[in-house]
Amino acid sequence: MNRLYLAIMMIAFCRVGQAQYLTCKNGVVNFVSEAPLELIKAQSSALSGIIDLSKQTFAFSIDSKSFHGFNSILQKEHFVENYMESEKFPTITFTGKFIDKCDFTMETAQSIRVKGQLNLHGVSQERIIKGEILKDGNTIKISSNFTVPLADHNISIPKLVFQKIAEEIHITVTARFFK
Amino acid sequence: MIRLNLYYQRAFYFFFLIYNIWSIRLNSTNVLKPFLIRSVHLDIEGLRTTPKILTLHQSINGNIWFASTKGLIAYHVTKSTLWPTEKPVTALYSDAQNVLWAGLENGTILSCVEGHCNQMQYQGAKPTTKITAIASDHLGQIWFSTYGEGVFVLSKQGLVQLNEQEGLGSNEVYGLKATKNQTILIHTDKGLAEATYRPTFKKIVNKAFESELPDIIIPSLEIDSDGTAWAGTNDQGPFSFDPISGTVLARVHKWPYGEINSLSCTGNYLWVSTKSEVLLRVDKKNLNLVDSIVVPKSKIIQLYDDLEGNTWILTESELFVVDKRFLQRQTDLQSIQSVLATNEKVWLGTNEGLYVSEKGKAYHRVKSNPINVLSIFQGKNKVIWVGTFGQGLYSLSPGSDVLRWHPVNRKLADPNIFDITEFQDQLWIATLSGAYKIQLPDDSPDVQGPVICYNKKSGLTGDFIYKILIDSKQRIWLGTDGQGINVIEPSGQIIHITMIDSTKLGAVYSLVEDFRGHIWARNFEDKLVTIDDAYHVQWQNHINVEQQKIQSMTSDERGNILIVFENNLQHYYPATGDCMDYNLIINGVDFKPSFNTISRAEDGTLILGDASRLVLYQPLENEMIRKPKLRFVEFFANGKKTAMHPQQFFDYKTNFLTFAFEGFWPLDQAKLKYRYRLNGLDTRWTQTNETSISYPAIPPGTYHLKIQASLTSGFFQSSEINYSFKIQEAFWKQWWFVSFLIAGFSGVVYFLMNERENKIVTQYSIQQEKIASQLDILRSQINPHFLFNSFNTLILTIEESPEKAIKYVEHLSDFFRNILAVRDKNLITLEEEFKLLQAYVYLLAQRYGDNFSIQWPESIPQGWVVPLTMQILVENAVKHNIISVANPLVINIEFIQEGKLVVRNKLQPKAKKQAGTNFGLKSLQTQYQLLTARWMNIEITNTDFIVYVPIIHPQEVPLNHSNQHEDSNH
């Protein structure tokens, strides 16, 4: 599914002769839920992404089942089945465009903001997300941290466990892009 | 927490326990809200739940509109109305012509005039994405911004699109506003763009990079009454911008609070919301954050400044209205007795000491012995003077943190200092032993004196002084306890103002000078007086109509009067007579300040001290006197809902009229007062708290109903609605009906008179005839022949059979008696008539034997005849015909169908005609004709003599006849 999505994206972005792409295959996504009674941490390194430099657009995708590192196996099952509903919504995507102008050739860190549709749990929300770009040799490192309010994506927390899961999940993304 | 966690894991029971404790803790932290904030509830006709509100707008005529996911909502206090739309309404705007424009999520544009919405079809381009904002420029062109297709201008040529190709930074437009520069300012992810459009040319100037905006992502933009633009950015906080010069005026250097999604720019502070529950207050001058306040429970979607100076806070789940003029601050202090606001500092005096707060920080106590602070005053060189209860005068110099006691206290006869003021290097203090004028030293920090005391000995009316006011004419006004006002003129002359209209002025606690130089005083009975330059005293009773408890008075920067009551504040404008009344009961917490705990800061903010909190009141610049809105809701005529039309007419029966109306004052609906008067019926206004008026029986006439709504009992700035109507006179009181009635009546009278005359004539004739016929009958009955014949018959019978004779005499006497009995009657029944006839026939039968016989009818029908008709006819037959063995006389009596009685006999006339004039027959004929208008016909054929007697049917019998008959029966 994940690959298929990317492939579609590749085709969509493809313009013969003029397109310049940056791609990423195993970017790292960390998430932290800091609730009054429990701290949950999980991560995935299955983030794939593509940046169209000429059009200043991008697309990210990640398999919602690829997260690991919960406090227990039961918790992961809970996460996958009850909150992400991965059977129904297997991928999380974020597609959009760059707002701030950025120079991908500069070797100092640059702050950028992108605007796009974050599709999580089948609900699409427009987000402006702040990140940092750093050219590191042949690769371009993109990192960002932001929060996702669960209510924005129709993820409801049962009253009995609301002290175990935060209403806002902190996300950290680090991805290396290659030409 | 760890221990709790353990319990929680063991059993859910404990979890619920913790949950409960936690929620209680949350509620208890929900203490005093900082604003005078009211929750607004939307009750929509026909809907149980309110749809999600996306934005709101107030049109020029004051109506409030909401855009929701289900459609457009016209706001009313009792029932709001929803106009459903196919897609959510995302933008609202009303232009100068009061046309309401609504933009939908799918790009559809609606225009609404007087409550009727139409989807507009325009020439040219057509938006298909969400309309984000609508505005109109100075040419009256309507501008629409869309999220994805740039902006559209509705000009005379139709809709014209301006997008990235025309130079717009981004097609995803957050919104647009009209500037005073006759341009439209557009805000997008690529900064600001200034656009103009004429049919001949279009121009878009992108401000993003030329003028170095703090941030290019600008989700929110407002333009204030001065024309300054206030922008809220994604990452760099708010900034102000001059659309005319195209330059940024002020910016923030550090903004950690996130994206600004809405702004409110009325008043001295900019209010900012950040997609969260927190509302930030920012100083408009330097954009420094003043404070952050958690207002509602859910995220703020929009802040909206209405025309009345209120700010509406639209959150994801609730709606609030806030008056930006007011802010309340909780202090940890108890029993605040005096307040002083200086530049950036607030000083509070309690019964424990003096406290100070800098720039909104917490209050800390100024070092001193325990003192009971009654008065605080800032004098020359920023020295703070403190008057105490029983401990004399203290001061605090700038830079010092210890209160200083002054040696001058030894020269005061009384250590209770109620008021302090300063005038030309002299300190004036009010004590219970008079007013003291204290010379301030030039260099020494200690005040020694000398002092001059003004008390009873020096010509005042009393020794207890509560208030000192030095007016613009350098007169010193002293308010005394129970002895009115004393004025020390610059010449030294003392003037006593103790009486007004032979009423004692009494204790005067507050003195204020207004912009005209008139002095306002408030006495012990909470009555207000003004004193002009000529010391003419006037009651101002119309202001404190409800006789509320006045706690303090002061003036604003422009010399208007502020009166602080328990629980409310009145801002009175003497020039116009206008008055604003603000309720200070917030969340059910009463406002109960001490006397004279009010102070005006240098920026014009008024600080009102309550027992433990402060209320800050900052009148808006160009304060607009606001009036509540008022409208008719429903109208009932005779209990039936009826439409209201101007100059309506009602008939005389429709005289029970009920008017339901509705006042609207978003900040405090309960404060509205109403009064009404029906001109033409009422002679005075009637005050009411109800929102409906009934007039049960309005007499015919022309009426004019007036209803007023106001915030004050004095009905200062009231709004009014009125309605004229007419109740018509009953039709029988109208001229045409009266004349018709008179004509008709005369006609009837004439007719009745005529009738009566005819009747009298008829009756008279009947009477005449009756008399005549009776005479005739009597005459014939006592006819000697009849008697002879009868007696002869009797003699013969006596010889033959004495028993028969006795019977004969009985019949004879019966016969005469019967005749006498019926002679007065007009009519008798056929049955009676036949009985009479039988008696007579018996007598005749005895005389003529078998030669005379009657053929009786088989049955006798119902009916009446003239009495003795039959007898007259039989007698007539006997009289004129031969009765012998050869020619026996047979009289045939029968009834025929046409209701007639036929009496017939064979014609065998006597050779010699009997004397007599046939008077009996003629009389009968006349009677029948008069009574029944029918003829008694007499038919004489060659062989027979036939008489047709009309039978009078019961329904034919005139009433008086039958009555007479009935009577005689009883």
Tell me the C-alpha distance between B235 and A130, whole Å.
Answer: 9
Query: Shortest CA distance to B852 belongs to which of B844, B860, B863?
Result: B844
pLDDT on residue B55: 94
- Mean pLDDT for the stretch of residues B82-101: 91
pLDDT digits (tens, 9 = 90+) for B765-779: 887 777 767 666 655
- What does the pLDDT look like over A6-26, one tens digit per residue? 556 555 554 444 558 889 888
pLDDT one-digit tens code per residue, B315-361 = 888 888 888 888 888 788 888 899 998 887 889 999 888 999 887 77
Q: How far apart are CA B630 and CA A112, in angstroms?
A: 53
Q: Between chains, do A100 and B216 touch, taking CB under 8 Å as contact?
A: yes
Instruction: Please state, in angstroms and rounded to a whole number, the distance separating the CA atoms of residues B567 and B619.
Output: 18
Which pLDDT value is given to residue B959? 45
Q: Determine, for residues A160 and B12 on separate chains, whether the beta-carbon distance falls below 8 Å.
A: yes
Closest CA to B230 of B171, B146, B303, B127: B303
Instruction: Say what the pTM is.
Output: 0.69
- Containing H/E element for A16? none
Beta pairing, strands B426-431 & B417-423: antiparallel
Amino acid B15: pLDDT? 42
A37 touching B, CB under 8 A? Answer: yes
Region B729-758 average pLDDT: 87
User: B534: part of which helix (H) or strand (E)?
Assistant: none
Question: Does the CB of A74 have a partner CB in chain B at under 8 Å?
Answer: no
Task: Grade residue B957 by pLDDT with cuts at 50, 70 and 90.
Answer: low
Among B44-58, B588-602, B952-966, whose mean pLDDT is lowest? B952-966
Cα–Cα distance, B499 to B497 (Å, whole number): 6
Q: Classify strands B393-396 and B247-251 as parallel, antiparallel or unpaired.
A: unpaired
Strand partners, B366: none
Which residue in B921, B930, B805 sits closest to B871, CA to CA? B921
Residue B186: its pLDDT value, please? 93
Q: What is the pLDDT of residues B375-423, one digit of tens each?
A: 999 988 888 999 999 888 999 988 888 888 888 888 888 889 999 999 8
Cα–Cα dist B485/B481, whole Å = 9
pLDDT, average across residues B916-935: 74
Check whether B652 has a pLDDT greater than 70. yes
Q: What is the DSSP letter of A80?
A: I
| CA B501 – CA B539 distance, rounded (Å) | 9
Which region holds residue B508: left if phi is over 0, alpha if psi is between -120 and 50, else beta? beta
pLDDT band with cut points at 50, 70 and 90 for residue B745: very high
For residue B955, pLDDT over 80 is answered with: no
What integer pLDDT is reported at residue B87 of this predicted model?
Answer: 92
Q: Tell me whether B259 touches chain A (CB under 8 Å).
A: yes
Does B857 sit behind a cis peptide bond, omega within 30 degrees of 0 on the bond before it? Answer: no
List pLDDT tens digits, range B6-58.
444 444 444 444 444 333 333 323 334 677 777 888 888 888 888 999 999 98
Taking the C-alpha atoms of residue B527 and residue B837, their distance in angstroms, rounded to an integer, is 111
Candidate from A146-155, B555-564, B821-830 with smallest mean pLDDT: B821-830
Q: What is the spatial distance between Cα B942 and Cα A103, in angstroms, rounded to a whole number?
A: 153
Q: Is the Cβ pair A160, B5 closer than 8 Å?
A: no
**B8 to A36: CB separation less than 8 angstroms, yes or no:** no
Give the pLDDT band (50/70/90) at residue B963: very low
What mean pLDDT comes out for the span B351-376? 86
Instruction: Write the DSSP symbol of residue B867.
Output: T
* B205: Cα separation from own chain's centroid: 53
Q: Which chain A residues are closer than 8 Å to B172 by Cβ?
A: 115
| The pLDDT value given to residue B7 | 46
What ipTM is given for this predicted complex? 0.83
Tell me which H or E stretch contains B500: strand B499-500
What is the pLDDT at residue B124?
82
**Helix or strand holding residue B7 (H, E):** helix B2-10
CA distance A119 to A125: 6
B15 chain-A contacts, CB cut-off 8 A: 160
Closest CA to A43 of A179, A131, A169: A169
Q: How far is CA B945 from the centre of its chain?
A: 94
Contact residues on chain A for B19, CB-CB shorter than 8 A: 163
Contact state of A99 with B12 under an 8 Å Cβ cutoff:
no
- Chain B contacts of A115, Cβ < 8 Å? 172, 189
Q: How many residues does chain B have?
A: 970
Instruction: Judge contact between B484 and B504, C-beta under 8 A.
Output: yes
Of B24 and B679, the structure prediction assigns the larger pLDDT to B679
Please identify among residues 143-162 of chain A the ones whose CB lies closer than 8 Å to any CB of chain B: 160
Q: For residue B16, give Cα distances in angstroms to A46, A112, A158, B21, B175.
A: 39, 45, 14, 9, 47
Cross-chain residue pair B1–A99, CB shorter than 8 Å: no
Q: Which of A34, A39, A98, A99 to mutate to test the interface with B (most CBs of B within 10 A)?
A: A99
Q: Which residues pair with B648 in a beta bridge?
A: B725
Residue among A37, A115, A130 minimizing CB distance to B189: A115
Q: Kindly state the average pLDDT of the residues B756-766.
A: 87
- What Å distances lie between residue B498 and B314, B453, B475, B949, CA to CA? 54, 21, 17, 116
- pLDDT, averaged per 10 consecutive residues of chain A (179 residues), comes to 57 53 89 85 91 89 89 85 86 91 81 92 91 87 90 80 79 90
Side-chain-facing half-sphere of A134: CA atoms under 13 Å: 10
The residue of chain B with its CA nearest to that of A37 is B5
Mean pLDDT along residues B692-716: 86
Residue B164 is given by DSSP the state G
Among residues B394, B451, B410, the alpha carbon closest in space to that of B428 is found at B451
Which residues contact residue B253 at a Cβ distance below 8 angstroms, ignoring those fewer than 6 apart?
Answer: none
Please report which confidence band the pLDDT of residue B430 belongs to, taking 50, 70 and 90 as the band edges.
very high
Q: Is the pLDDT of residue B71 over 60?
A: yes
Please tell me the predicted confidence (pLDDT) of residue B45: 85
Position B184 scores a pLDDT of 92
- Interface with A, mutate which of B235, B275, B299, B317 (most A CBs under 10 A): B235
The pLDDT, as a whole number, for residue B11 is 43
Instruction: Tell me the Cα Rg of chain B.
Output: 55
What proportion of chain B, given as a percentage, has pLDDT over 90? 19
Query: Token pair for residue B889?
Result: 């006389």
* Rounded to 5°, angle at Cα B346 from B344 and B347: 140
**B104-126 as b/e: b if 16+ CB within 10 A:** bbebbbbbbeeeebeeeeeeebe
**Could you tell me how far CA B716 lies from the centroid of its own chain?**
19
Residue B215: closest CA among chain A residues belongs to which residue? A100
Work out the number of other CB atoms within 10 angstroms of the CB of residue B645: 10
* Two tokens, residue B498: 């103790």
Mean pLDDT, residues B885-904 taken together: 85
State the nearest Cα–Cα gap between B254 and chain A, in angstroms: 16
What residue spans of B782-886 are helical by DSSP H? 784-800, 802-822, 830-848, 869-880
Q: Which of A35-44, B268-277, B547-556, B788-797 has the lowest mean pLDDT?
A: B788-797
Select from A75, A100, A168 the residue whose CB has the most chain B CBs within 10 Å, as the one to mutate to test that interface.
Answer: A100
Return the structure tokens found at B554. 């002061």
Q: How far apart are CA B633 and CA A131, in angstroms?
A: 56
E strands along A53-150, which residues?
Answer: 57-63, 91-98, 110-120, 123-136, 139-149
The candidate with the shortest Cα–Cα distance to A162, out of B464, B178, B395, B15, is B15
CA dist B508 and B526 (Å) reads 9
Token pair for B819: 């005749």
Answer yes or no: is pLDDT of B693 > 50.
yes
Mean pLDDT of chain B: 83
- With bands split at pLDDT 50, 70 and 90, how would you rate the model's confidence at B881? confident
B952 contacts: CB under 8 Å, gap ≥ 6 = B827, B863, B864, B865, B931, B932
The sheet carrying B151-155 orders its strands as B131-136, B142-146, B151-155, B158-162
pLDDT at A10: 56
pLDDT at B960 over 60: no
